[in-house]
Each structure stands twice: as structure tokens, then as C-alpha cells.
């Protein structure tokens, strides 16, 4: 006989019988989106959304009017040369004027803009006044180095405040920045510097990660050895360990900042709304990484409005986006978005579980974080250590949570919701990409939530799931995720390769929809469920890596003749890299060589690209035209049916 014990399924009072988490009335009542909805005379989000996609010009003009323009735009959208859309045409603008300068005229001048904690426990904080000083000084340094509007400055730094100052200083004087993630290594850095043709590289002696020093300057030295464009390297002293400084090329940041030219007065340069703000390299299905171009005007409008409505930022909030500034998440939602919104952005340098698995939770408690934005891989990683670690801390300051980078599995969602958010904090599962600039499919605090779904498109965004011919799929049918109309935060082109921009994102669809490269389905309520990449991109711990880059790192090793990389499911990383390698004739297959090849990939590309396994094989499945059929390798590894093999080489 069994005794019926009624166990509460969850500690949340907001979960209904269908497993949908209804928004709490007090959150709905005070939400930024509710205020906007009412101001437009609508009584439901659906009506507001419908209006926003029927009158995108009115909606985006509203959003642009939240920001300050030196000169107003003449036209919201110029679509005369699709897909090279232009937004806020004729407007004169600078994102830094909006992120810093305009706050200096208000009481926000003395508000904390950036709070930083190092992995070693060091603490630094900057008010808007303080951040302006650092940025202006460094902008003057860059000018003295000959950096001009239109130049691209490469930045390769740990997660420290100077990274933020460097980005803002470039933008202030109209130069574009290209931030290369500090976890990347020599070849990845060299390739990105070469494509950007940077004359200036900004780096640091090193950074801390899990108590160890990451030797950034050493890696930069190797990369610069093969980067003829570089004339100047500016080095922040972070770790203080010994590094080589090449006379005439390398300068210490602190030396330059104490020169008389580094005054704290520097005019922000008004630029065209369409002036390039930054280049960010991201992996695609083939070939070398793509330099995604974002611009000042539309991008600023887009990230500010998505942050305002989705994360519901309020004046008194302390907001923590735990990503790295080296990725688009950091660009949009650590640096530019929060500063434009006049928020307080918190940044932490190191690993989430260092020295103990409670580090993040202790930071939430210590700094009174209200909004925490992270990735499913981090949630799964911390979940493994058990509930006792977060339960030791007072997490009651949290009001809202966010997730990005890959689909969040419902188990991790519920843990985040119940154990971290204590059943009080809605989770914003934001789907977007480097290319989209900001959130595309995302809930807002008034949206009923289904764990694992990014819910519905943001205001002004028309998303759909279609077949290869561009016809809408029915409810719950898998298909291609597309965006059917332009938006201000969209990428403008690929640096030096506009054809690739057209072919990769627009041409595969005859109706000129933006193809995201993801598969998805839409349920009967119009909720989107992202399935994953349909191209040869692997998402390792939320980081985007191209199989082609991993394979080219492998074949650069003298023992390797051919290589193929695939992604297979992994409990914490989501997906892990597995490689198949054909060795050159006469080379012996040994476990030592396997280790060496793993280390070789990590050295070339960065530790995140280290393969989980390397298998030696004598042949690889290929099409008759010589393309490696990775899906066949994947099906074999998973013991699944490889599907149509008609194009397989006989």
C-alpha cells in the first residue's frame, strides 16, 4: 500500500497546471513594458506587438527618441538597396554620447556605472563621471597614436575595466573596435588582426583564470610576429608578471595615461548613424571567421530598447551580465546597453567556481545584484555542485534572471528558477546572435513562461519557421528560423566581404528573409522552441566555433593529413567537439599523439576549442565533390541512421 503524500511540484506559486509560469501581478504592474503599452493606449501585449510590426517606423522612432541625437534623422529606414538596410538615415549620433556624456548632465553623474571584482578579490568601481575620465584620457592617447575615424583597433584583453574603457574610447573618436575574446589563442588572434588590418593592438600582460595567469602578452607577441599591420601595442599591467616589451612598439597603458596629452577632456565625435561601431568575428559554416559589422545609431537604439523592456532595468538596479565582453553578449549587454540605460553594470573577472563553487552566489549577495544574465552551460556547471552552495547565501536581491547562448534544458531552467530565483524571478530566455545585435525572440516580465522556450519575438520583430522554399510551417513542425523584416540592430555587412553577407543570410531564401542558421518550431501558442544550428557551427559551452576552423588547426600539425570535427551532446557543455583524423603515411597512431593533437588545437585556437576526443581513421565519408559529410560521422557516433547517402563518394 502506498501513502498519498501531496508533494508540491515546485516551490513557485506561479506555475499553472500546464506547467506554464504565469507572471506575478506585482511584476506586471511595475514593468517598463506595461507602462509603454498603456502610454500607447493598448491593454494587452498582443495588441502592442501587432501595432509594432504593422507600424515599425512609428515604433522604432519612439525607441530612437529615447536617445539623444546631435542631428535628427530624416528617415527611419532606407530599404532601397536590400539587404543593405540603413536606419535613421541622416542622423548624427555617437553611442558614447548616449552611454556616458548625456548622463553627466544629470544626477547620474555620481552614480556607479561599473563595479568590478577581480578573481583575486580586488575591487574597482567607477561612477559615470569616473568612467568618462578614463575613456576621455584613453581616447586622447589613441588619437596621439594616430588612430582615426574609420580605423579598426584590435583589443585582446582579460575581463578588466580597461577593456570597457578601450572599447568606449575607440567609439568616442569614431574608430571601430574589434575585440578578440581573451580565451582565443595565437592563430585566432593573428587571423582577426590581419582581416581587420589593425595598426594598434590593446592587450594586457595577463589575466587570471582559476588562479592561474593566462599569458595574453606572450600570445599577442607570437601573433604580432606575423601581423605586419601592427605598429603599436598598448599593454595594461594586470598580473605584474614579467613580459617582453619591444621598444618602439609596446607601451604600458599606465605610462601613456600619465602623459600630459592624456587629458580628461576629449570631444565625442558626432558620426553618421550608419558609421561602423565595431567588428566582431564569429564562426560560420565555412572558411575563416566573419567580421560582423555593427553601427552606432540603429544598434544603440536596438540594444537599449531590448534591455529596457526585457530585463526591465530600473534606476536603482545593479545588473550583472556574466558573459565576457569579448562576445556580443558583453558588447551589447555588459558595456553599451547598461550604460545607455544609465544602469550599474557589474563585471567579474574570473571563473564561476573559483576558489569555491559559491563564488557567483557570494557576488550576488555581496553586491546586491538584482538582475543576473548568464548561459545554460554555466547554470548546468554550477547545478552539479548541489543546492547547498547557493543556499548558503542571501539571494533575495535578485528580481529577474536571464539565459542565452543555447537552448536551456527544462531541468536547468527549473533549478535556476527555484534554487537561484527562489520561485520569484522570471527567466528571460533570450534567443539572438552576434549578427542580430540584440535579443530577437525573448519573453518580457509580463510573458507567461514555458521552460525551454525563448517564447515570442521582441516588439517590431517578425520571426517565423519556414521550409526551404520560405513557406510557413504548421504548428509544432521543425523548420528554418527566419526573420521576415529588418530591425535597427541588425548587422550591416561582413567586413571586406559583402557578397558573403548576402549569400549566407539572405540568398538561401528566395523571398529575402534573414536566415539565422538555426532550426526551430513554433507551438500552438506561437511560442518558439529553438532546436539548434543547421550549419557546421558547434556551440561548445555556448561559444560558437566553426568546424572548419578546428579542422584547419588540426591539419596545420605535421602529423595530420585530413581531419573532420563534429559536435556531440555533453552534459555540461551542451555540445563537445569530437574529431576524426587521417594521419600522414608512416605516422604511428599513439595515445601520446592524440594528446598532442588536442593540445595543438588548444594552442592554435584557444582552450575552448580543445577536442574532447580524437579518433584515428583511415578514411572520411565525403560527397563526390569532396565535402566531408559530418552528419554521417555524427549519426555513426550516436548509433543513428545516417539518412540519405546518395551523394556519398562511391
Please report, as residue ranges, which positions from 528 to 567 form the binding site for ligand WT7 (by CB under 6 A).
Answer: 530, 533, 539, 544
**Interface with ligand WT7, residue 328, by CB under 6 A:** yes
Query: How far separated are the first and last CA of the chain, in Å rounded?
Result: 63
379 vs 583, which CB is nearer to ligand WT7? 379
Contact residue for ligand WT7 among 154, 185, 268, 329 (CB under 6 A): 329
**Interface with ligand WT7, residue 310, by CB under 6 A:** no
Name the minimum Å distance from CB 44 to ligand WT7.
Answer: 24
Burial of 140 (0-12, 13-18, 19+ CB in 10 A): buried
C-alpha cell at 352: 564561476
296 vs 533, which CB is nearer to ligand WT7? 533
**Interface with ligand WT7, residue 268, by CB under 6 A:** no
The region of 4-12, 63-71, 351-359, 511-519 touching ligand WT7 under the rule CB under 6 A is 511-519
Asked whether the beta carbons of 180 and 134 are under 8 A apart, the reply is no
Q: What x-and-dash track marks residues 272-301 binding ligand WT7 by CB under 6 A?
A: ----------x-------------------
The region of 244-252, 443-451, 513-521, 639-647 touching ligand WT7 under the rule CB under 6 A is 513-521
Please report, as residue ranges, which positions from 55 to 114 form the binding site for ligand WT7 (by CB under 6 A).
Answer: none
Query: Is the omega angle on the peptide bond into residue 83 within 30 degrees of 0, that is, cis?
Result: yes
Please report, as residue ranges, which positions from 391 to 430 form the binding site for ligand WT7 (by CB under 6 A).
Answer: 404-407, 429-430
Coil, strand or helix at 19: coil
Name the minimum Å distance from CB 630 to ligand WT7.
Answer: 16
Name the minimum Å distance from CB 538 to ligand WT7.
Answer: 10
Cα 612 from chain centroid (whole Å): 23
**Interface with ligand WT7, residue 324, by CB under 6 A:** no
91 vs 517, which CB is nearer to ligand WT7? 517
Name the minimum Å distance from CB 336 to ligand WT7.
Answer: 14
Name the minimum Å distance from CB 405 to ligand WT7.
Answer: 5
Beta strands in 182-289 (DSSP E): 200-204, 207-209, 212-214, 232-236, 250-252, 271-272, 276-282
**Interface with ligand WT7, residue 518, by CB under 6 A:** yes
Q: How far is CA 387 from CA 212, 354, 428, 440, 617, in A?
A: 27, 17, 22, 32, 43
Q: Which of 573, 556, 555 is nearest to 620 (CA)?
A: 555
Q: Which residues of 31-47 are buried (b: 16+ CB within 10 A; e: fewer)?
A: bbbbebbeeeebeebee
Name the minimum Å distance from CB 412 to ligand WT7.
Answer: 12
The region of 124-132, 431-439, 465-473, 504-512 touching ligand WT7 under the rule CB under 6 A is 431-439
Name the minimum Å distance from CB 375 to ligand WT7.
Answer: 8
177 vs 199, which CB is nearer to ligand WT7? 177
In the block, which residue shows the cell 568575428?
A: 281
DSSP symbols for 416-441: IIIIISTTTS-EEE-B--GGG-S-SB
Q: How far is CA 421 from CA 103, 320, 360, 430, in A?
A: 31, 14, 14, 17
Backbone angles phi, psi at 183, to 5 degrees: -90, -5
**Interface with ligand WT7, residue 431, by CB under 6 A:** yes
C-alpha cell at 344: 550599474
Contact residue for ligand WT7 among 434, 446, 504, 547 (CB under 6 A): 434
Contact residue for ligand WT7 among 426, 517, 546, 574 (CB under 6 A): 517
Query: Is the omega angle on the peptide bond into residue 245 within 30 degrees of 0, that is, cis?
Result: no
* Site for ligand WT7, rule CB under 6 A: 282, 328-329, 404-407, 429-434, 454, 516-518, 530, 533, 539, 544
Amino acid at each position: 500500500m502506498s501513502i498519498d503524500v501531496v508533494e508540491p511540484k515546485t516551490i513557485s506559486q506561479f506555475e499553472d497546471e500546464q506547467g506554464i509560469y504565469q507572471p506575478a501581478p506585482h511584476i506586471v504592474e511595475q514593468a517598463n513594458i506595461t507602462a509603454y503599452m498603456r502610454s500607447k493606449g493598448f491593454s494587452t501585449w498582443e495588441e502592442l506587438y501587432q501595432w509594432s510590426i504593422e507600424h515599425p517606423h512609428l515604433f522604432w522612432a519612439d525607441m530612437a527618441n529615447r536617445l539623444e541625437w546631435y542631428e535628427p534623422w530624416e528617415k527611419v529606414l532606407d530599404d532601397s538597396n536590400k539587404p543593405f538596410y540603413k536606419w535613421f538615415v541622416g542622423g548624427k549620433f555617437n553611442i558614447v554620447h548616449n552611454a556616458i556624456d548625456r548622463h553627466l548632465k544629470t544626477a547620474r553623474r555620481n552614480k556607479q556605472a561599473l563595479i568590478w571584482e577581480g578573481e583575486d578579490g580586488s575591487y574597482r568601481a567607477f561612477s559615470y563621471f569616473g568612467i568618462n575620465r578614463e575613456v576621455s584620457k584613453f581616447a586622447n592617447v589613441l588619437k596621439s597614436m594616430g588612430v582615426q575615424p574609420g580605423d579598426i583597433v584590435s583589443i585582446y584583453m582579460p575581463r578588466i575595466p580597461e577593456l570597457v574603457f578601450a572599447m568606449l574610447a575607440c567609439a568616442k573618436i569614431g574608430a571601430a573596435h574589434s575585440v578578440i575574446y581573451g580565451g582565443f589563442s595565437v592563430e585566432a588572434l593573428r587571423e582577426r588582426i590581419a582581416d581587420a588590418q589593425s595598426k594598434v593592438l590593446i592587450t594586457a600582460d595577463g589575466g587570471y583564470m582559476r588562479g592561474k595567469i593566462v599569458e595574453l602578452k606572450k600570445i599577442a607577441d607570437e601573433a604580432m610576429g606575423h601581423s605586419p599591420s601592427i605598429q603599436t601595442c598598448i599593454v595594461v599591467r594586470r598580473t605584474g608578471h614579467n613580459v617582453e616589451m619591444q621598444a618602439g612598439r609596446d607601451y604600458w597603458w599606465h605610462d601613456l595615461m600619465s602623459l600630459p596629452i592624456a587629458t580628461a577632456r576629449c570631444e565625442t565625435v558626432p558620426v553618421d548613424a550608419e558609421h561602423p561601431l565595431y567588428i566582431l568575428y564569429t564562426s560560420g559554416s565555412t572558411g575563416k571567421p566573419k567580421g560582423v559589422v555593427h553601427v552606432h545609431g540603429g544598434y544603440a537604439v536596438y540594444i537599449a530598447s531590448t534591455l529596457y523592456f526585457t530585463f526591465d532595468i530600473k534606476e536603482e538596479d545593479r545588473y550583472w551580465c556574466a558573459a565576457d565582453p569579448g562576445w556580443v553578449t558583453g558588447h551589447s549587454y555588459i558595456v553599451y546597453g547598461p550604460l545607455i540605460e544609465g544602469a550599474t553594470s557589474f563585471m567579474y573577472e574570473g571563473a564561476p567556481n573559483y576558489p569555491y563553487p559559491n563564488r557567483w552566489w557570494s557576488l550576488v549577495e555581496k553586491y546586491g545584484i538584482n538582475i543576473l544574465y548568464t548561459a545554460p552551460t554555466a547554470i548546468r556547471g554550477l547545478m552539479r555542485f548541489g543546492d547547498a552552495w547557493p543556499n548558503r547565501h542571501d539571494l533575495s536581491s535578485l528580481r529577474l534572471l536571464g539565459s542565452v547562448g543555447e537552448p536551456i534544458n527544462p531541468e536547468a531552467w527549473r533549478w535556476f528558477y527555484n534554487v537561484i530565483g527562489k520561485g520569484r524571478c522570471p527567466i528571460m530566455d533570450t534567443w539572438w546572435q552576434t549578427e542580430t545585435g540584440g535579443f530577437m525572440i525573448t519573453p518580457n516580465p509580463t510573458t507567461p513562461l514555458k521552460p525551454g522556450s525563448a517564447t515570442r519575438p521582441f516588439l517590431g520583430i517578425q520571426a517565423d519557421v519556414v521550409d526551404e522554399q520560405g513557406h510557413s510551417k504548421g504548428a509544432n513542425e521543425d523548420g528554418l528560423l527566419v526573420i521576415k523584416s529588418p530591425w535597427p540592430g541588425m548587422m550591416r555587412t561582413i567586413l571586406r566581404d559583402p557578397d558573403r553577407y548576402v549569400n549566407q543570410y539572405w540568398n538561401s531564401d528566395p523571398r529575402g528573409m534573414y536566415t539565422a542558421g538555426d532550426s526551430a518550431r513554433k507551438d500552438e501558442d506561437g511560442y518558439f522552441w529553438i532546436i539548434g544550428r543547421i550549419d557546421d557551427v558547434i556551440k561548445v559551452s555556448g561559444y560558437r566555433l566553426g568546424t572548419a576552423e578546428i579542422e584547419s588547426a588540426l591539419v596545420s600539425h605535421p602529423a595530420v593529413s585530413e581531419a573532420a570535427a563534429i559536435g556531440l551532446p555533453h552534459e555540461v557543455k551542451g555540445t563537445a567537439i569530437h574529431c576524426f583524423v587521417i594521419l600522414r603515411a608512416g605516422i604511428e597512431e599513439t595515445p601520446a599523439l592524440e594528446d598532442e593533437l588536442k593540445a595543438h588545437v588548444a594552442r592554435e585556437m584557444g582552450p575552448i576549442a580543445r577536442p574532447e576526443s580524437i579518433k584515428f581513421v583511415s578514411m572520411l565519408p565525403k560527397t563526390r565533390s569532396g565535402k566531408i559529410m559530418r552528419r554521417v560521422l555524427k549519426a555513426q557516433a550516436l548509433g543513428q541512421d545516417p539518412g540519405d547517402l546518395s551523394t556519398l563518394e562511391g
